[in-house]
Amino acid sequence: MRRGWLAVGAASMVVLTACSSGGGGATAAPSVNSDPTKVSGSITVLTNRTDQLGDGTLDKYAAEFTKVYPNVKVKFEGMKDYEGEVKIRMNTENYGDVLPIPSDLSIAQLPNFFSSLGGADELSKTYQWTDYGTVSGKVYGIANFGTVTGFVYNKKVWADAGVTAWPKTPEEFLADLKAIKAKGQATPYYTNYHDGWPLRQWTDAIGSPSCDEGAKDALATTAQPWASGDLRTIDSLVYSIVEQKLSEDDPTTTNWDQSKVMLGTGRIGAMYLGSWSVSQMRDAATKAGANPDDIGYMPFPSTSGKACSVLQPDYKYGINKHSKNQEAARAWLDWYITKSGAAQAEQGISSVKGSELPATLKPFTDNGVQLIGQKQDKSATVKKIDKGAEINLDAPDYRQKLVDIARGAASGDRDGYFAELDKKWSEAQKTVNG
């Protein structure tokens, strides 16, 4: 679902250049006429969901939308390398009318590119996670749905290996993967190294091992994040999986689309992805003639003694501030989030307050998994440190190098690499914090 992380680092510099030269304040919040027949225009909606563009899902949503807004024409433009391509487009005024906001764009930059959707006080009565898109009391992006973090897995593969309970610790997780490998019928874990962005997904686990919603904010004042804490736990698990040969033989040849079929049909044991992935794996299983009910979801193994999973918004949708069809764009954004049923179809947690949890997460409820947020109080500082350190937690590059070290394709070892990352982080932190 999330694609294009390979180009994030370079593209973010492009966007920063655009900000410094393009500038500009917020536009007035576009409203929608109470009479849908009086809303008109042609809008382009950018999407990272090239699969839904190909299978007609998005066209079906558009057809339902035009039943309500008959004078608005909606067309879609898909990008496989979404993050990279859209950030380059954002150097111009031509980046669609409605689009998912690039994940690496800082909150402070939102008014430079997107229209205000209204006041945070008012919108927060209806929607969750408005704080992720709020600048100076105005909201610039609203999520369609939220997702929790963990592992999508093939329950039959695990059961056939004799594993019937979720692993409670990282050590138990590795032991379970070894049991799957011993069975010899599936690759225990699949990194999706080649596409890159799935490796970045591991960053979303920050907070899960420790069951601490302030874990990411704490990076602002932690000099050595890889010496102890969640980042050490997360990246140590990645390293151990690869170093102990519990992943695919050649990570440079992985294929995202094929991995969905492989997990759905029992040739892969698990992948670390947001809970949004369950519906895609089940679809892949169904199309391949396998049992979609074999696909399950489990939380990240704990270091705190409690099972916790970070709950956060998926892509936030915004309106291009340069769009000539602000009213039509707002009509689509509001309808898509509140009326389309897309969040439910993705087994996501709708951003509309009061919505029910998806069936996918019933096992979490049944097993007492605690859903926690990620505090955003110091997110700007963390991003500045991360940028200064040239690590980029929101891109796959540094974790791809970790995989290369673990598989012997790059020199070094885990502790040496962690010390290198800590040194970069500590130096950048001193510069930022003074």
Q: Which tens digit of pLDDT belongs to each residue from 150-206?
A: 999 999 999 999 999 999 999 999 999 999 999 999 999 999 999 999 999 999 999
Q: Mean per-residue pLDDT for 134-142?
A: 96
The per-residue pLDDT of the chain, averaged, comes to: 91
For residue 360, what pLDDT is reported? 85
Largest CA distance in the chain: 65
For residue 8, what pLDDT is reported? 29
Give the integer Cα–Cα distance in Å for 32 and 49: 26
Q: Which tens digit of pLDDT belongs to each residue from 378-393?
A: 988 999 999 999 999 9
For residue 15, what pLDDT is reported? 36
Q: Which tens digit of pLDDT belongs to each residue from 284-297?
A: 999 999 999 999 99
Tell me which H or E stretch contains 335. helix 326-338
Residue position matching structure tokens 């049944």: 366
Q: Which tens digit of pLDDT belongs to each residue from 89-137?
A: 999 999 999 999 998 788 889 999 999 999 999 999 999 999 889 999 9
Question: How confident is residue 19, by pLDDT bands cut at 50, 70 and 90?
Answer: very low
Q: Which tens digit of pLDDT belongs to each residue from 201-217?
A: 999 999 999 999 999 99
Q: Which residues pair with 390 in a beta bridge?
A: none
pLDDT > 60? residue 304: yes
Q: Mean per-residue pLDDT for 62-84?
A: 95
Cβ atoms of 257 and 287 closer than 8 Å: no
For residue 27, what pLDDT is reported? 52
How far are the Cα atoms of 235, 322, 399 from residue 411, in angstroms, in the given order? Answer: 17, 48, 14
Token pair, residue 339, equals 């009326």
Cβ atoms of 132 and 264 closer than 8 Å: no
Q: What sign results for the dihedral spanned by CA atoms 323, 327, 328, 334?
A: positive
For residue 307, what pLDDT is reported? 95
For residue 231, what pLDDT is reported? 98
pLDDT > 70? residue 21: no
Which residues have a Cβ under 8 Å from the Cβ of 72 and sit 6 or more positions away?
39, 40, 41, 42, 43, 65, 66, 328, 331, 332
What structural domains does the chain harbor? Answer: 5-144+315-356 (3.40.190.10), 148-313+366-434 (3.40.190.10)
Tell me which H or E stretch contains 16. helix 8-22
Query: Quick one: CA torsion of 296, 1, 206, 415, rounded to 10 degrees?
Result: 100
pLDDT > 70? residue 17: no
Q: Which tens digit of pLDDT belongs to each residue from 397-424?
A: 999 999 999 999 999 999 999 999 999 9
